[in-house]
Structure 1
Amino acid sequence: MSNILVFDSGVGGISVVREIKQLLPSVSIDYLFDNLYYPYGELDEVTLIQRTIAVIDCVAIEHKPQLIVIACNSASTTALPALRAKFDIPIVGVVPAIKPASKLSNSKVIGLLATQGTITRDYVEQLKINHASDCDLVNVGSNELVAMAEALYRGGKISQQRLLDICQPIFEQADVMILGCTHFPLLMECINQIKPPSLVIIDSGLAIAQRVKTLLDARVVKTKAPNDFLNHRALYTKSINDKSLIAALFSEGFNETTLITLPRG
């Protein structure tokens, strides 16, 4: 039976976990979120790369995943080359869905809703040049939306008016909006209540799951014995005192939650 590691700084990667579980129900998933350094969108690039490598290395040594998913746009657009140089197993990153958005757009105006860190990366501009040169790209960067998604996942309430204010530049100009942060699909229900009816919203979750399916050994995935136990674990780097978060994680199907302590040095 296959096991994979999905990584983010917060709970945003849960949106990717859901897609993977839907497509690959016989795969065990360790979900690692580095809540001690959350949010990654506010880290400088050097710190982000060093921290990502350190945390994943600590967990990979013990849990030995067959594949790693970097379910964090900030980490993916910054640390993927360093991660792939470090680890000898497949690593799947998150790419803002600029290419499919350009194909879906009739107006040739597409919007990218992401964190401030993501929209300023050269990587995003290169994606536009390579895959959407015929489109105008409306960039909206908001770290506040990450906090809103975290709060909503824990059962809290968010301001629909504030959500509208943040998304309005895209709503007014584009006919396709890209969710360029894995946290943002957690806000989908709220966004659907305020978006223009004709606006199409896309994210990378399903594409990531499909890539994972391609890379995993199909024979391993398909030969799950009836008594095999799916051990979905939630791993984190800072103690959680929030009972609502623990409850939300167990509701996703995680069997256990574990604090990970990195070695000193």
Structure 2
Amino acid sequence: MVSNLKIIFMIITLIISFGVPITLGIIFCKKYNGTFKAILIGALVFFIFQMIIRIPMLQVFSRQSWYIAMSKNHLFFSIFLGLTAGIFEEIGRFLGFKFFLKDRLNFENGLAFGAGHGGIEAILLVGLTYINNLIYSNFINAGKLDEVFAGKVPQQTIEMIKNMLINTPDYNFLLAGIERIFAITIQIALSLLVLQSVRDKKWSYLIIAILIHMLIDTPIALMSMKGVNVFILEGITMIFAIIALIYILKQKGLEKTNAEV
């Protein structure tokens, strides 16, 4: 059986994954006129560069001998995953600002772009997954999972779903939602950094954004592979999010100062 507490935590994470992006979008659109386009471009950039290009590319690579060999070295593999995520997402951001928001390179649109980028990531990677988790949990508790998937899904996959939902600690299902709040904060900060790269015509800021993205993703991926306690992982992510928030507030202050000059 999947415990009631797990189901409650799944629902909370589902609400966060959809609710936070939607709420931020509404707030930004009401507070800052004309930011809807930035939200949309931010979301499209993530969808295209991650879901359409990078993830399918990694799936193709996963069948290659060099990739399989590299995946056995957790350090190199983590660096590879972090670097490719940084390259695709940050270059995607750069192109989004440069070609679709070139006349809107201000702080407000940077916030909105990051909210769209991180928001669609939360919805696609966590929100939709947790809809499935809740459906599967309902089938498990009703004793119908095997019946529903009989002949459609390999028995090994069915057992894997059962094991994940029944044996994963309760708190993991809540932490997944909290992590999305941290991730959206980081995505907004990176969007502001890339916006500055486009606005000031400084490639160095883009390179810094790619490296920061890699430096955030790499240790998290490595420690996950090593089985490090999830609270440590989320604690590190929270630290990155706090640093990102400080940067966002600093950029807000600079934008305000420049507007007053």
TM-score scaled by length of structure 1: 0.29
User: Rg larger in 1 or in 2?
Assistant: 2
Which structure's residues are more often helix, by fraction? 2
Query: TM-score if structure 2 supplies the norm length?
Result: 0.29
Query: Quick one: higher RCO (CA 8 Å, sep 6+), 1 or 2?
Result: 2
**Higher strand share goes to which structure?**
1
